[in-house]
Amino acid sequence: MKPAEQSYSAGVLYVLLAELGWSLSGLFVRLMPGLDGWQINTWRGYWMSVALLCYLIARYGRDTTGKFAEIPLVALITSAGFFALGSTLYVTSLTLVSTATISVIGASSPIFTGLLSPWITGERPGLAAWGAALLAMLGVGIIAWDGLEAGKLIGIVVSVFVPISFAGQTLTLRRYRGYDMVPAICVGGFATFFIAGILGFVAGGHAGGGFEVSPGNLALLAVMGPVQLAVPLIYYARGAKSVPAVTISLIVMLDAVLNPLWPWLFLGETPNRAAFIGGTIIVGAVIISIFGGRWMARAAP
């Protein structure tokens, strides 16, 4: 018997749950002030992949190896590569430009996704999707305005490849939505572990590279990997089965709203006025991206 096809609403819910988990990154990072991006990325990627491997074994048992082999090689390499590349470039960009600059550049991910999706997934974003993408960029720009900087060309160029990598990851999951792509993400996490760990020697200046962390921080990262990455990525891959790539990218823009929320609630870090204004605009853009196409279809004669 053929399994029931996943609904659009269920897919949107999965992506929202994924973003809810991803938005905890800021809270976790603040709990580990002694670590830099290389150390966090190294062990977060490792524990993420360990958790994903446990999930795959629990779900497929002896067929787990077959699930890795089932994915077309190009899809496996592309998905794992975009994950490892995006994670590594994000950490690199943090050493070159401000977080605000990265946030604004990162908000261009739906634009890249929309431009590439007709050739990769066969999906052509409508007017509502493009309008929502521009609105989301405006919202992120308002939030990050005070921290924007100029004159750092190399950092900006590196930062541009972060949203491109995320767009590539999203489009790959959408194109190969007929497969369970979690094994590919699992490979990407282990690749990130080695890449970030080794780069930690050069860029981080640690005697033990990105691998060098204290037992206490390692325990926190063992929680962060599954909670902030593994579980959300499972939902993300599930959501990509029934939600267009551009809509997925726009829902993920909620990170600019939710990421400052948790430190505010649990650590007392009050967001500034721009965060509330920009956040409201981003929420509006996400609502348009989810429902706009259907609203316009109903309004059309």
Q: How many residues does the chain have?
A: 301
What's the pLDDT band for 2 if we cut at 50, 70, 90? very low
| Mean pLDDT taken over the chain | 88
| 212-223: burial string, b at 16+ Cβ within 10 Å, e else | bbeeebeebbbe
pLDDT at 152: 75
CA distance linking residue 257 with residue 94, whole number of Å: 20
Q: Which helix (H) or strand (E) holds 293?
A: helix 273-299
Q: Which helix (H) or strand (E) holds 297?
A: helix 273-299
Under 8 Å between Cβ of 157 and 99: no
Of 35, 32, 13, 34, the residue nearest 24 (C-alpha): 32
Under 8 Å between Cβ of 136 and 110: yes
Question: What is the DSSP secondary-structure string of 144-200?
Answer: HGGG---S-HHHHHHHHHHHHHHHHHHHHHHHTTTS--HHHHHHHHHHHHHHHHHHI
Tokens of residue 249, six digits: 């990218």
Highest mean pLDDT among 72-86, 107-121, 142-156: 72-86
pLDDT beyond 50 at 13: yes
- Worst-scoring range by mean pLDDT, 30-34, 51-55, 195-199, 291-295? 291-295
Mean pLDDT of 223-245: 95
For 174-185, the pLDDT digits (tens) are 999 999 999 999
Here the contacts of 291-298 (C-beta below 8 Å, separation 24 or greater) are: 292/126, 292/128, 292/129, 292/131, 292/132, 293/126, 293/128, 293/129, 295/128, 296/126, 296/127, 296/128
- How much of the chain, in percent, has pLDDT values that exceed 90? 50
Q: pTM for the complete prediction?
A: 0.87
For 250-286, the pLDDT digits (tens) are 998 888 888 878 888 887 777 778 878 888 898 898 8
Tell me which of 95 and 11 has the higher pLDDT.
11
pLDDT at 273: 81
Tokens of residue 71, six digits: 């994915």
- How much of the chain, in percent, has pLDDT values that exceed 70? 93
pLDDT at 73: 96
pLDDT at 61: 95
Under 8 Å between Cβ of 279 and 243: no
* Cα 45 → chain centroid: 13
Question: Taken in order 97, 101, 103, 108, is the CA torsion positive or negative?
Answer: negative
Supply the angle between the helices 273-299 and 127-144 in degrees, to the nearest 10.
Answer: 180
pLDDT beyond 80 at 34: yes
pLDDT at 296: 57
Of 88, 97, 101, the residue nearest 38 (C-alpha): 88
CA distance linking residue 68 with residue 71, whole number of Å: 6
pLDDT beyond 80 at 103: no
- Worst-scoring range by mean pLDDT, 93-107, 171-185, 223-237? 93-107
- Residue 78, classified by CB atoms within 10 Å of its CB into exposed (0-12), middle (13-18) or buried (19+), is buried
CA distance linking residue 152 with residue 164, whole number of Å: 19
CA distance linking residue 240 with residue 261, whole number of Å: 26
For 37-76, the pLDDT digits (tens) are 899 999 999 999 999 999 999 999 999 999 999 999 999 9
pLDDT beyond 70 at 299: no
